[in-house]
Amino acid sequence: MLAEWTSQKWTDGIQVDELNDSERVIAETANSIYEITVICASTGDVLVRGGKCFPEQTRAQIIGASWGGPTLKVSGIYTGMNVEFRLEGQRVVTSPVQSVKIVPA
């Protein structure tokens, strides 16, 4: 897994901490579509709706992207990887991301 991690080009996704506050992102996973609005890019605080855990807009924090193990691309949302959120102290992990895009203003 480390070889896959180090060879990753990191071009097929986004870094939430590089976005502007109020920007919107759509992340389509194998099982759901997540609508994400950035509250504070530097901390990863977002409003998110989608999946079983977020049926309505809910304040959460994006932890980052992972393959389900301990290795994490902090603040990232990348295709082929799971998105990890923090919700009320609990970790919520999505199915693998199929596509991610910034919604034009």
Residue 6 has pLDDT above 80, yes or no: no
pTM for the model stands at 0.89
pLDDT tens digits for 35-89? 999 999 999 999 999 999 999 999 999 999 999 888 899 999 999 999 999 999 9
Is residue 79 within 8 A of residue 67, CB to CB? The reply is: no
Is residue 14 within 8 A of residue 26, CB to CB? The reply is: no
Domain boundaries, the chain: 2-103
Residue 105 has pLDDT above 90, yes or no: no
pLDDT at 9: 66
Which pLDDT band holds residue 10 (cuts at 50, 70, 90)?
Answer: low
Q: In one letter, which amino acid is 62? A: I
